[in-house]
Amino acid sequence: MVYNIRMKLNTIICAAAVCGCASFVAADEESAKSEASAPAEAELSEEEKGEEEEEAVVSAEAYFGVDSRYITYGLTDGKDPIARVNGYLSFFDWVYVGGEMLFDLTKGNGKRTPYEYGNRAGKLMTLDAQAGIAHEFDLGETLGTLGVDLYYTYEWLPRHHGVMNDTQYLDVEFTLNDLWLEPKLWIERDLMADDGFYVNLEVGHTFALVGEGEDATLTFKPSFAQGVGNTLRTRGYGLSDDHGGLMDSTIKGELAWKLCDNVSLKAYIAYSDYWFDRKLRHGARAYNGQWGHGDKYANSWNFYGGVGVAFSF
C-alpha cells in the first residue's frame, strides 16, 4: 500500500515538473518571439515612414529677410538695405517653380549716377521668375550625394528707365555636401544683357554648435568663394573692355538656428573684394563709385550682411 502511494506521488510530482518545464519553455519562446518582433515592427514603422516621405508630391519653402546692401558679383547694386522675399514649390523632388522679389527700403538706392533712379523707397527693385530641375544622386560612400540644380531665370528690373530693364539667365549648380569642404560650383550664362559667362567655386564647412548632424539646432558655416568672368561679363559690368579674369573673392559666415521642424532663423556676414586682377579691381572701384563717392574715393570691396526667416513645408 505504501509502495503504491509512493508510486502515485512520484508520478504526480514528475507530471507537475514536466508541465512546469513545458510552461516555462512556452513562455520563453513567446518572450523570444515578442523580442524578435519588436525590432521588426520598428523597422516596418521606419519603412512606412520612409514610404510616407517618398509619397510627398509637393513641398514648399519661403524666405523673408533684409540685406544691408544689394550685392551682385561683389559689386554694389544698392548701397542701402533691401528686403528680400522668395518662395518655391517642388514637385516629386525633381521639378520646381518659384521666384524672388527685392524691394528698396530707402531713398539712397535711387541715387546712382548716371541713372538717377529717383526716390524708390518701398518700391520693387527686382523680380525674378524661375523654373528648374533639381535632384540629388548617390555617388557612393566616398563622395556621398551629388546635388544638381539646373534652372532658368527671367529677371525684370523696374527701376531701369530708358534702358534694357529685363534679362534672362541659365544657371547650373553642383554640390557635394557630404564632403568636409562642401564644394559648390555655380555656372551662369546671361542670355540677353551681356551674353557673358560667370563661374563661382565655393568651399566651406558646416559646424554644429548645438546638437549633432542633421538634427543640429544651431550651425555655423564659414566659407570662401572665388568668381571668374569672361570678357563679355566683365565688359557688361564696365570692369574691363579687353579681358575677363578672376572677379570677386568672398569670405562669408552663415549662422542658422532651427526654431522648429519648419522654421529657421538665418543670418550672414560677408566681405567681397577684387584681389587678383588689378584692372578689374579698378573697374570695381569705378562701379561702386557710381553711388556718389567717385572713382577716387570708392572702394573695390564691400562688407555686408543680412538676417531672415526661412520656412519649409
Percent residues over pLDDT 90 in the chain: 65
- At residue 131, the pLDDT reads 98
Are the C-beta atoms of residues 71 and 77 closer than 8 Å to each other?
yes
Which cell numbers hold the place of 75? 559689386
111-115, 154-158, 243-247: range with lowest mean pLDDT: 111-115
Are the C-beta atoms of residues 129 and 100 closer than 8 Å to each other?
no
Backbone dihedral angles phi then psi of residue 307, each to the nearest 5 degrees: -145, 145
19-23, 131-135, 300-304: range with lowest mean pLDDT: 19-23
Is 89's pLDDT higher than 70? yes
Domain ranges of the chain: 1-53, 60-312
Q: What is the mean pLDDT of the chain?
A: 84
For the stretch 91-118, pLDDT in tens is: 999 999 999 999 999 887 766 766 667 6
By residue count, the chain amounts to 313
Residue predicted with more confidence, 121 or 223: 223
Torsion on CA atoms 291, 292, 297, 303, rounded to nearest 10? -30
Closest CA to 70 of 51, 89, 84: 84
For the stretch 5-48, pLDDT in tens is: 344 434 444 344 444 434 443 444 454 444 545 454 445 455 55
**Confidence tier at 214 by pLDDT (50, 70, 90):** confident
Are the C-beta atoms of residues 220 and 253 closer than 8 Å to each other?
yes
Is 180's pLDDT higher than 90? yes
76-80, 260-264, 307-311: range with lowest mean pLDDT: 76-80
Are the C-beta atoms of residues 174 and 150 closer than 8 Å to each other?
no
Residue 289 CA to residue 272 CA, distance in Å, equals 16
- At residue 96, the pLDDT reads 98
- At residue 7, the pLDDT reads 40
- At residue 257, the pLDDT reads 97
How far is CA 141 from each of CA 119, 144, 208, rounded to the nearest angstrom?
A: 55, 5, 21
Residue 233 CA to residue 240 CA, distance in Å, equals 9
Closest CA to 144 of 173, 178, 175, 174: 178
Superfamily of domain 60-312: monomeric porin ompg (2.40.160.40)
**Confidence tier at 291 by pLDDT (50, 70, 90):** confident
How far is CA 308 from each of CA 60, 77, 188, 205, 282, rounded to the nearest angstrom?
A: 17, 20, 25, 21, 33
Q: In sequence order, what DSSP letters do the residues of the chain get, joined into one string? A: -HHHHHHHHHHHHHHHHHHHHHHHHHHHHHHHHHHHHHHHHHHHHHHHHHHHHHT--EEEEEEEEEESSEEETTEEEESS-EEEEEEEEEETTTEEEEEEEEEE-SSGGG--TTT-----TTSEEEEEEEEEEEEEEE--TTT-EEEEEEEEEEEE-TT--SS--EEEEEEEEEE-TTSTT--EEEEEEESSSS--EEEEEEEE--EEEES-GGG-SEEEEEEEEEEEE-HHHHHHTTS-SS--EEEEEEEEEEEEEE-SSSEEEEEEEEEEE--S-HHHHHHHHHHHGGGTTHHHH--S-EEEEEEEEEEE-
Span 275-300, average pLDDT: 83
- Strand-pairing partners, residue 306, are 67, 268
What contacts 298, CB < 8 A, 6 or more positions away?
Answer: 285, 286, 288, 289, 291
- State the amino acid at position 181 in one-letter form: L
4-8, 66-70, 224-228, 285-289: range with lowest mean pLDDT: 4-8
Span 72-96, average pLDDT: 95
**Confidence tier at 164 by pLDDT (50, 70, 90):** confident
